Structure 1
Amino acid sequence: MQHWPDIPYQLWKPTGESLHMWLQIVGKFRLALTPWVNHSWHATFYVTSRGLTTSLIPGPNASYIVDFDFFDHRLVIRSTSGDIEALALHPQSVADFHAHFVAALDAIGAPSDFHGSPNELPEAIPFAEQKALGSYEPEAAHKYWQALLAIDRVFQQFRTGFLGKVSPVHLFWGSMDLAVTRFSGREAPAHPGGIPNLPDSVTREAYSHEVSSAGFWAGGGGLDYPAFYSYAYPTPEGFKDTITGDGPAFFDEALGEYVLPYDAVRTAADPEGTLLDFLEQTYIAAAETGGWDRAALECEPGLAGQPREI
């Protein structure tokens, strides 16, 4: 049975703030070298058996993979030339982490010239100028990874029930959320943009087509607790009024999204079923109110070892 740890936001927040910046730094390295893929899918992280990974990053003379290890609490950089560099994850400033990471890249001959400021934050203070000592609690990081592991398993299962275009299950370092997105196949109206310190061109490309997107935050972004979210873009008329009742999920007017507190899932008799139901119900709300061709887009959930019957 998958473990669903307790990750109260106030205890997680200091470590989370450090990890957010560290993920952005490593993400910027990946972004600088990887050819653009639709909806910025080329820049994300993926959940692994020990933490988070970039997957393989192409370079001019070699390729690289960068892993956050939340068992040994190290950042490990591996090159296809056989070189390995590792950094300890411990309390330090963002500036120090940035400097150590750049030095490690230089040591294995990896390109180390990448954009030096964060995205999607009100103040984009360059990494090299963030010199205040940051926090890192190994237990908090490990529990965060355990939560991601449990959530990734459910998101992956949810992904199998769709024949249309669907994203990987991946973590976006800009907003630090694990997400999975389904597409109707139709173009969407141009997104208005306006996300702090993110070019509007990136946002418009990300939302070039209609979506129903769900994900998980460990807290922040308008919520002081860990939670799941689900939204549609563009938001169809009636979407926010579709799911009602006494359940733990609700529509947050300020965020414009359905929200399900993580603790409501963690403490449920069937956490996986509770989360899967939220994903299914909010997707159906988006598809029904948005007029998606559900018969053409949906299929039975995938089963291990069994090809889909056609």
Structure 2
Amino acid sequence: MNSATEAEIWPDLPYAQWRDACATLQLWTQIVGKIRLSLTPWLNHSWHVTLYVTSRGLGTSPIPFDCRSFEISFDFIDHKLRMETSDGQQSEHPLRPQSVSEFYFAVLEGLAELGIDVRINQWPNEVPQRIRFSADKTHIAYDPEYAHRFWRILLQADRVLKLFRTGFTGKCSPVHFFWGSFDLAVTRFSGRRAPLHPGGVPNLPDEVAREAYSHEVSSAGFWPGGAPLEFPAFYSYAYPEPAGFRETVIRPDAAFYSEELREFVLPYDAVRAATSPEETLLAFLQSSYDAAAACGNWDRKALECLPGRIGVPTRPGFPPN
């Protein structure tokens, strides 16, 4: 694979260049995510609120509404927000520089045209300084080039995380996108209860955080950046963090433990620059999970299997490699 093609598959995403656009896009995804939240029964660990990577961007998957269903999707190729119903109706809104307030009212008006009346909590979550969606005229940036690059990275991260997920037969989340923290994630569970989470996540009810971390987890994903990391990165953490976890040597050499975040971090640029980005990322995911499972005394023989292959039923295997 030549360097030009590799650069398209794993594009550059300097956080400083699209910081404002990234902040605006996060708030737009929160509006869409809260629509799903407001109409969907609670599923363990808030799995009912997430978005999913699609062949054109991010989408909600079908949301029930009376006897119909509808979907909302961000198209980062044509740069449109699409709202589509199960009875064939459609509404679109362009993705362009616009305030969060304008976007908020446009989405609700578009849904109303489709016969969908919905109300959401207008306060953003997991951001330090909040402005009600309907009043937010501060966040107005949108950069189609960087939104497109972000989605292309999500495509690759989604693919590799799904491959990594196949090596686990225990309880495991889908690979999904959390609009609150603005990251793509997959989470493995040991099967044991965890101690009560202390809460304290900025602008997130403690009861939500405690339900999300009710059981022991090893979680990994991709984040485009933001304080305290001013660069895009892959991450991996364990809750509760077992003794010895942070001292474990993780692959590749570019990975490190962040004392502030209390998780292992692998800068995206280290993956992008690698001879094999996929193998480099898989090494990080596997070695950081190994650290969580070994230090946490997980029942690995019962939870793990050989990595999945197309057309081949899952086979037990420990260690998986």
Common fold, TM-score beyond 0.5?
A: yes
Match of 2:143 in 1: 137
Q: Distance in 2 between matches of 1:240 and 1:258?
A: 8
Match of residue 308, structure 2, among 298, 302, 307: 302
The alignment's C-alpha RMSD in Å is 1.3
Q: Distance in 2 between matches of 1:244 and 1:214?
A: 13
Q: Distance in 1 between matches of 2:240 and 2:87?
A: 45
Match of 2:319 in 1: none
Q: Distance in 2 between matches of 1:309 and 1:199?
A: 40
* TM-score where L is the length of structure 1: 0.97
| 1:39-188 alignment, distance < 5 Å | 39-132=45-138, 134-188=140-194
State the 1:133 CA deviation: 5.4
Match of residue 215, structure 1, among 208, 216, 221: 221
* TM-score where L is the length of structure 2: 0.94
| 1:264-275 alignment, distance < 5 Å | 264-275=270-281
Q: Distance in 2 between matches of 1:12 and 1:277?
A: 29
**Do the aligned residues in 2 keep the contact of 1:230 with 1:279 (CA within 8 Å)?**
yes
User: What per-residue deviation string (whole Å, max 9, x for no partner) do you get for residues 7-28 of structure 1?
Assistant: 1111121221111000000001
**Do the aligned residues in 2 keep the contact of 1:119 with 1:196 (CA within 8 Å)?**
yes
Structure 1 stretch displaced more, 221-230 or 181-190: 221-230
- The DSSP-based 3-state class of the residue aligned with 1:174 is coil
User: What per-residue deviation string (whole Å, max 9, x for no partner) do you get for residues 285-309 of structure 1?
Assistant: 0000001011110000000111224
Q: Does 1:35 align with 2:41?
A: yes
Relative distance call for 1:212 and 1:104 in structure 2 (3 A) is same
Relative distance call for 1:244 and 1:90 in structure 2 (3 A) is closer
Match of 1:25 in 2: 31
**Do the aligned residues in 2 keep the contact of 1:21 with 1:118 (CA within 8 Å)?**
yes
Relative distance call for 1:268 and 1:36 in structure 2 (3 A) is same
Q: Distance in 2 between matches of 1:306 and 1:137?
A: 42
Structure 1 portions without partners, runs of 5+: none
**Do the aligned residues in 1 keep the contact of 2:255 with 2:264 (CA within 8 Å)?**
yes
**Do the aligned residues in 1 keep the contact of 2:15 with 2:232 (CA within 8 Å)?**
yes
Relative distance call for 1:186 and 1:91 in structure 2 (3 A) is same
User: What per-residue deviation string (whole Å, max 9, x for no partner) do you get for residues 133-176 of structure 1?
Assistant: 51111111111000000111100000000010011000000010
Match of 1:8 in 2: 14
Structure 1 stretch displaced more, 219-228 or 126-135: 126-135
Match of residue 234, structure 1, among 232, 240, 245: 240
Work out the number of aligned pairs and report it: 310
Moved over 3 A (4+): none
Structure 2 portions without partners, runs of 5+: 317-321
Q: Distance in 1 between matches of 2:228 and 2:72?
A: 30
State the 1:80 CA deviation: 1.1
Match of 1:285 in 2: 291
User: What per-residue deviation string (whole Å, max 9, x for no partner) do you get for residues 37-83 of structure 1?
Assistant: 10000100111110011000011242110110001000000011221
Q: Distance in 2 between matches of 1:133 and 1:148?
A: 23
- The DSSP-based 3-state class of the residue aligned with 2:147 is helix
Q: Distance in 2 between matches of 1:20 and 1:133?
A: 10
Q: Which amino acid aligns with 2:55?
A: S
Q: Distance in 2 between matches of 1:167 and 1:62?
A: 26
Q: Percent identity?
A: 56
Match of residue 269, structure 2, among 248, 263, 285: 263
Relative distance call for 1:211 and 1:246 in structure 2 (3 A) is closer
- The DSSP-based 3-state class of the residue aligned with 2:191 is strand
